[in-house]
Structures are given as C-alpha cells and as structure tokens.
Structure 1
Amino acid sequence: MFIKGMDISTLLEEEACGAKYYDNGVVQDLFAILKAYGTNSVRLRLWNDPYAPDGTPYGAGTNDLDKVIVLAERAKKYQIGYLLDLHYSDFWADPGKQTTPKAWQGMNEDELEAAVYQYTKEVMQTLKDKDLLPEMVQVGNELTNGLLWPSGRKLEFDRIAKYLNAGIRAVREIQADIPIMIHLDNGGFNEMYVEWFDEFTKRAEPFDIIGLSYYPFWHGAMEDYRDREGKPLDQLKGMATKPELVEKLDYPMTKEGQTTFMKDLMELIADIPGGEGFYYWEPAWIPVPGCGWATEAALAYTGEKGPGGNEWANQALFDYNGNALPVLAVIRDFNRQNCK
C-alpha cells in the first residue's frame, strides 16, 4: 500500500476554536473528507506533558495521550490507520530543541533509559487495551541532533541509541510486528543521513523505516531524495511562504503550483526503491482565533518569542475558510501502478 498520510494533530484544537471543513460547499467531518480523497493513514504526535505546572495548555493541539486516543478513535471510525509520533518531550521536538520532559529533568543516563522504556510501554499498553494500536510507531521526532538534551545530543550516539532502543524494545514487547520508524529532518542532505545512520545502526535495535522531513524551500531539490538508506516516509511542508524563497522552487505559490508539486512528489517517492509514501504535515491547520503553534505558557516554557500564531495556513490543503483545495483530488487519483 502506498501511504497517503496526513498529520492532523491540531484538529481538536482547531474544532474547539470554531474551524469547519467543507467539500464542495458541504460541511463535513475532516476525517470523512480526507477519506473521500484517498487518505489511508494519519499521523498523531504525542507530547509527554504539554501543560504548565498550573495546568495551562501549551497549545498547538496540546497533544497528550487523551487527545491521541480521541483522534485515533475517529480515524478508526473511518477505517483510517495512524502513525504514532512519540516526541519524548513536553512540547515541540525538532533539530533546534529536544527538551527533556519536565518529569525527567535531572535524571542520569540509566534513569532516562528506564523512563523512555516505561513511558513507551505504558502508552502502547493503554492503546492496546482500547483496541487502538497504531499501524506504525515513530520513535522520536526529527532526531538529527539527538533527543533528551543535554544527555542525548548529537555525537553522543551511544546515548542516542540507548534511549531510542529503549523505546523500540517497549513497542516490540507490546506488539512485535508494528513497523518502527526513525525520523530525521533535512530530507535533501544525503551525506548527513549516511553519516547519522552509519553511526546509529552500529548500535541500534532493529527498525523498519527511515522517515525524513522534506521542506522544499529549505531542503533542496526533489532529486536529492533518491539516495537514501532504507525506506523513506516523508513528513513534508508544502509551498514557500517568503518571496525571496520562491526563486528556489519550480512551483508557483498557486493552487496549480501546489497540485503540480504534490503530483511530482508522489511520483518521485513511488519511483524510489522502498519508497513507502508520505505524511503531509498539518493539511487542516487553517487560521482560526485561538489556535496557534504556542500559547503564552508554552512560550514561557521554551523561552521563545511570540506571538505563537499560525504560520502554516497558506501551506495547508484547505483554504482559509476550510474549503478543500484541488490538490486533494490529485492525491486521491494518484496510483503508484501508473508511474513509469
């Protein structure tokens, strides 16, 4: 199966703030629309404790386990599978920040390993008890510079592998045949992937899939993706948002440019040996008041400057009013078997 996936992790917050989604002018459940346009999997991120000590949510979906369960149940209703994305952090984990969860601060190396194992196993057991096991598990998010900083920073590959192996073992103990993904960013930088995975695989428990983030205005030409170890799955961000970046792209910032880009991307993935498909990041994150990438509490936690609004809406697959864009039909109609 060629995966046509969507990361819809902010959906519950979007809906709570008033977002509605339309197909041909008719309001529908987002899952129903995505299903009709060929989506066969969704990606759900999980943060350990996305709340300030006083209980104020961090926003951007505030994706704790309860919210993952609600979204997984809705996906199941529409016979859509899901990828569980374990960040091992209380908020965004990416190459610029891999903050150790508040509850794990001050732990030593062995204690962190045990915490990753126990947390992962408890999450998986909870999902299994509810008959909601994911079809794939992503152990860590954009791990290029490691995880659980400062202990597991890049170049500390013994520690990186130790922590990730703990998560892998925990997943396998609950369900041995669930595919496991290891995910980096910078999808056009083949040399970095070779270096990183050369180091990691010397120390790693068996895993199944390499996931890569591909942002076309940062990560180079599509052709740079071809040379990769393992099986890529792509979490991607769509079109460029700044005029000075547009010159780097072959696709105009229009509906037509978006559809052409997506068609070319799917054909490229299908042509890569072992290319399994894609997950489009946050296709439904449209601008509604109160739904942004970080609340004031989150900004205080991360030390970043605000405002924490929506910087993604012009790269979604729905317009600002929630109407499905033509690119969804291109995704629906794509058939790997028709590629040369």
Structure 2
Amino acid sequence: MKYHFSLFITILFCFSVWGCKAEVPANPDTSSTDKLAKGADISWLPQMEASGYKFYNDLGVQEDCFKILKDHGINSIRLRTWVNPSDDPASGHCSKDETVAMAIRAQKSGMRIMIDFHYSDSWADPSKQVKPSAWANLNFEQLKQALYDYTFEVMTALKTAGITPEWVQVGNEITGGMLLPEGSTDNWPQLAQLINKGYDAVKAVSSTTKVILHIDQGNNNARSRWWFDAAKANGVKYDVIGLSYYPYWLPGNPDYTLSVNDLGNNLKDMVARYGKEVMLVETGGEDTKAQNTYNMLITVLQKVRDVPENKGLGVFYWEPEGARSWSHYALSAWGSDGKPTLALDAFK
C-alpha cells in the first residue's frame, strides 16, 4: 500500500465512538530510537516469483522484493505456515520447507521475523478454521499432540537453519477459535488447552520467542475484551496481543478516520487491562486509494507508538507486494506498473 503523495499531510476530522478527532500526524517519530517493528507479511512472494512476476523499485529498475521493501522502511517479515498445503498458485504453498527458506532470505536481508501458524492446510480466519486433513479424525488428546508436534517440528527446522523468530503466532485470527469444532470459543477450556500446547512447543525450542494471540477487528474494544477476558479466565499462556485492523472490511466500508481512534484507545486498554504488549499484525488499505492508505498507515503507526511504556511493538501490512494484477487482492501496496505505491512510504 503506497501511493506517492505530497510532503504535507491533510488533517482529517471525524467522530469516533469515543467522540474525538482523528488526525494524521505531520511529523511521526522516525528517529533512530524508534524500535517499532515496521513489517510486511509477504508469504505470497515465492509463488509470485515462480510465476515470473517482476518487481520494480520507484525508479522502475527491477530489483529483489526484499530490497525494495527494506528501502521503504520495512524491517520485519511475517510468514504464514500451513500443515499440508496444495500447490495452488494463490491458496497453496507456505509449507514448512518454504517457510524456512523464506525466513533464511528474510534474515539475510536483516529483517526481524514473525511466524504465523494457521493450523490448517489453507487460509484460517474468523470465517474458517478448518483442521488439517491429516488431523481430521484425531480425538482431542491426539489433536493436542499433533499441534504440539507440528509446532515443535517447524520451530526446530527454523532453529536448525539458524533462525530464531522474534515472534510466533499460535493461530491466525482465532476470534472464534481454531481447529474447529474442538477448539471453538464455545468450548474455551479446550481452546485454552490447544493454545497452551502451541505456546509450550514454541518455548521448548526458543524460550526468547514471544507468543502472539491474534484476533480481528482491532478497533472493537468490546470484542477484544470479551476474547482476552475469556483467555485469562481459562489460563491461556501468551506474551503479546495481536490485532488485525482493516477499515475496508468493517460494515459499510467506512473511511479509516471513523474507527482509528477506537483502535488507538483499544490498544491502550489492552495494555492496561492485561499487562501485555500489543501489535497490529495485519492491516491494509485499498490499492486504488494510495494516499488515503498512506494517511491511515501514518496514523496507525503513531497510535502504536502512543501506547504507554513502549508496549506497542509494531505494525505489519498484509501482502503489500501482492499486486492485484497477480493476486486479484484489492488491498496490496503495489501498482499495475510493478512498483510499490505511495502507501508503502509510510514505513520510511
């Protein structure tokens, strides 16, 4: 997400649920003391490269995607991993081996690394949390062990390759649970056991890696409180609260200015209520509205910086390189010319 636009930033006003104005900060803190993770999930990249897609920098010169991202301020990479994925060009790949190979590239590029376990053979999100086909007929005790063993296996493969992920997600957007039906939020005691198995497997390989629990609608305080209150009540183990924030997917497709203050207040509330660090592990805006997406990112980055005690860890754009011409996805930060849009400049 990035479309080139002028140096000054228009101040936008709107009413939020808390009734305050949303402003685009003119001078975000980009000093050397800024430790924010400015990240991108680029799990589509191997498929894009295999299909022959070419990436170009701002000057129109063909370059490696990692180099282009780094030149735009991206310092962290998020990679999803699926259990037994297909070879479908858009909804496949992301196997353990491919994830390790991508993590090696990320580390060689000087990037911090996040691994996102979907615990599925394909996409997992609030609308679908399908068990891997190989786990479909396991009983609950076997399912817990399979989750532990798979997590341990991937983490060990990364360690063998010299990779220590800074963060690991146990599940992807698990607002309704994961590995359904056993791990549904309708049965929190079982969901807690599954999450804790993943946590234990991560820590068994890398005690320093921070475990993230990830839900959607980061602007929705009631939803966040409901979920993390239940996690606390059921003894769930984790280190970081991970949230998605996509104004585009909210009812009515509202402009970000109508929800971004709710996001900022929710981030602060999560820290105060649970004593955890927080991070936006997914965000994005429309590729055809690059300036608006740039403005959103500048604002969101500042909201994370404003979290007290430096407990706002970072912001990750989901598939900025996933150009619509290849992916048919509307929220990338790449143009039809093969170059990043203005939106990506927000991370500089």
Tell me the TM-score normalized by structure 2. 0.81
* CA shift for structure 1 position 223: 1.1
- 1:46 and 1:64 in contact (8 A); partners too: yes
Contact 1:9 1:61 in 2 (8 A): no
Q: Contact (CA 8 Å) 2:77, 2:106: kept in 1 or not?
A: yes
Larger displacement relative to structure 2 (58-67 or 37-46): 58-67
Other-structure match for 1:259: 294
3-state DSSP class of the match of 1:107?
coil
CA contact (8 A) 1:231 1:275 kept: yes
User: Could you tell me how far apart the structure 2 residues matched to 1:36 and 1:47 are?
Assistant: 29
Q: Deviations over 1:68-100 (max 9, x none)?
A: 112111111111121000000010001111001
Give 1:65's aligned residue.
96
Asked if the contact 2:168–2:210 (Cα under 8 Å) also holds between the matched residues in 1, the reply is yes
Q: Which has the higher mean CA deviation after the structures are superposed, 265-274 or 141-150?
A: 265-274
| 1:106-121 alignment runs, 5 A limit | 106-121=137-152
Matched with 2:340 is 324
Which of residues 322, 326, 342 is equivalent to 1:285? 322
* Kept in 1: contact 2:324–2:332 (CA 8 A): no
Please state whether the residue corresponding to 2:281 is helix, strand or coil.
strand
Confirm or deny: 8 A CA contact 1:86 1:141 kept in the other structure. yes
In the alignment, which residue of structure 2 is the partner of 1:21? 55
Q: Which residue of 1 aligns with 2:195?
A: 164
- Alignment correspondent of 1:233: 279
Offset of residue 266 of structure 1: 1.0
Identity of aligned pairs, percent?
35
Paired amino acid for 1:175: S
Does the CA-based 8 Å contact 1:286-1:321 persist in structure 2?
A: no
Provide the C-alpha distance between the structure 1 equivalents of 2:44 and 2:340, rounded to a whole number of angstroms.
17
| 2:259 aligned partner | 221
Give secondary structure in 2 for the equivalent of 1:192. helix
Structure 1: unaligned runs, 5 residues or longer = 242-252, 293-309, 333-340
Residues 102 and 257 of structure 1, relative CA distance in 2, 3 Å threshold: same
After superposition, where does 1:13-52 map in structure 2 within 5 Å?
A: 13-23=47-57, 24-51=59-86
The letter of the residue matching 1:17 is S
Measure how far apart 1:329 and its partner are. Answer: 2.6
Q: Return the alpha-carbon distance in structure 2 between the equivalents of residues 31 and 4 of structure 1.
A: 13
- Determine which structure has greater relative contact order: mean sequence separation of CA pairs < 8 Å that are 6+ residues apart, divided by chain length: 2
The Cα offsets for residues 20-74 of structure 1, whole Å up to 9 and x where unpaired, read as 11111111101011111111111000000112xxxx5473352111111121111
Displacement, 1:330? 2.7
Give 1:157 shift: 0.6
Cα distance in 2 for residues equivalent to 1:61 and 1:233: 27
Structure 1 counterpart of 2:230: 199
Measured in 1, the distance between the counterparts of 2:242 and 2:62 equals: 33
Q: Displacement of 1:179 after TM fit?
A: 0.7
Is 1:99 the counterpart of 2:130 in the alignment? Answer: yes
Q: 2:155 is matched with which residue?
A: 124
Contact 1:11 1:61 in 2 (8 A): no
* Root-mean-square deviation over aligned CA pairs: 1.7
Q: Which moved more, 1:36-45 or 1:58-67?
A: 58-67
Q: 1:61 to 1:233 in 2, by over 3 A?
A: farther
Select 1:174's aligned residue among 202, 205, 209.
205
Deviation at 1:135, TM superposition (A): 1.4
Measured against aligned partners, the alpha-carbon deviations of 1:166-189 in whole angstroms (never above 9, x if no partner) come to 000011111111111000012121
| 1:219-260 deviation digits (Å, cap 9, x = unpaired) | 46011122242322113343358xxxxxxxxxxx53322221
Partner of 2:22: none
Q: For 2:114, what is the secondary structure of its paired residue?
A: strand
Which residue in 2 is equivalent to 1:144?
Answer: 175
Q: Which runs of 5+ in 2 are unaligned?
A: 1-34, 251-257, 271-275
In the alignment, what sits opposite 1:275? Answer: 312
The alignment covers a number of residue pairs equal to 296
- SS of the counterpart of 2:175? helix
What secondary structure does 1:28 align onto?
coil
Deviations 1:90-134 (A, max 9, x none): 100011110011111111111111111111111111111111221
Equivalent pair of 1:90/1:100 in contact (CA under 8 Å): yes
